[in-house]
Amino acid sequence: MKIYLNGEFVEKADAKISVFDHGLLYGDGVFEGIRLYEGCVYKLDDHLERLEFSAKAILLDLPMERGEFAQAVCNSCRENGLTNGYIRLVVTRGAGHLGLTPDGCGPPSVIIIADEIQLYPEELYENGLKIISVPTRRINSSALPPAVKSLNYLNNILAKIEAKRVGFQEALMLNDKGEIAECTGDNVFILNKGIVYTPPLDAGSLRGITRAAVMDLAQELGFMVKEQALTRYDLWTAEECFLTGTAAEVIPCVEVDHRSVGNGVPGPVSKSLIEKFREKVKVDGVLLD
């Protein structure tokens, strides 16, 4: 495997950064997870825009223009002979001193990893995922805007561990009001009485690229889509529930906190959105060739 590292492609074993890099020391940096489908990089421009916004929000000057990032992402896929896969684009603050201040850091490190991925086995798309709410809360949006996709995912990691230890693959995270924020890596949707609901961004939800695409698809299918504060009760009593994310795509959720959602099997709307999403991924992609 070849890794893009600061303008060069190096072998996986040689992909190294300084132990003084503030991305390592403090989680000071931003990243994007991007999908490659049949030689098409899905919504690359949207991901690069979000990367720029995240970097601006944390006062990190990106060392490359958007077109240069796009070319580096596509070249990473070509170097590794990929037509389907997952791309992790990371920009750190760079090497600096042992202290919180970023003064003296730099230049920023740019890392691109293009590899194969399958987050969930196919049977979970057919039979549905079971999730559980956990004690660890989503960071308050007034402390760190959830739109910033930073390298510090510790609370999400803790939530994932808590779910795994009681036998679940995914955790439902609440905000400090007890409202639904998101799962550890996915946005949350429900269907109730013909309306598709998802938590608003100020509830602690990431401004997901797949989230936005699925909202558009649901409207194309004739459903009203509302961003509304949701509680666990809303998920327990929903007709359908599904999660969205770059790696997960669209996956049905059939149980929340040991309570069946609907009749306990993936619903027709979830199935339709999975099908429609998979049809459109190549249409909205950037061709490698």
Q: Is 149 a catalytic residue?
A: yes
Superfamily of structural domain 122-280: D-amino Acid Aminotransferase, subunit A, domain 2 (3.20.10.10)
pLDDT at 263: 95
Give the three-state DSSP class for 258: coil
pLDDT at 27: 96
- Assign a CATH topology to domain 2-115: D-amino Acid Aminotransferase; Chain A, domain 1 (3.30.470)
pLDDT by position in tens, the chain (length 289):
999 999 999 999 999 999 999 999 999 999 999 999 999 999 999 999 999 999 999 999 999 999 999 999 999 999 999 999 999 999 999 999 999 999 999 999 999 999 998 778 999 999 999 999 999 999 888 888 999 999 999 999 999 999 999 999 999 999 999 999 999 999 999 999 999 999 999 999 999 999 999 999 999 999 999 999 999 999 999 999 999 999 999 999 999 999 999 999 999 999 999 999 999 887 777 777 6
Q: Which of 2, 43, 130, 149 is catalytic?
A: 149
pLDDT at 289: 67
Domain map (residue ranges) of the chain:
2-115, 122-280
- The three-state DSSP-derived secondary structure of 115-130 is ECCCCCCHHHHHHCEE
Enter the tokens of residue 13: 């074993």
The domains spanning 2-115 and 122-280 adopt the same CATH topology? no
Enter the tokens of residue 73: 């992402």
The single residue listed with the structure tokens 């699925």 is 214
Tell me the C-alpha distance between 269 and 196, whole Å.
10
The answer to whether residues 17 and 131 touch, using CB atoms and an 8 Å cutoff, is: no
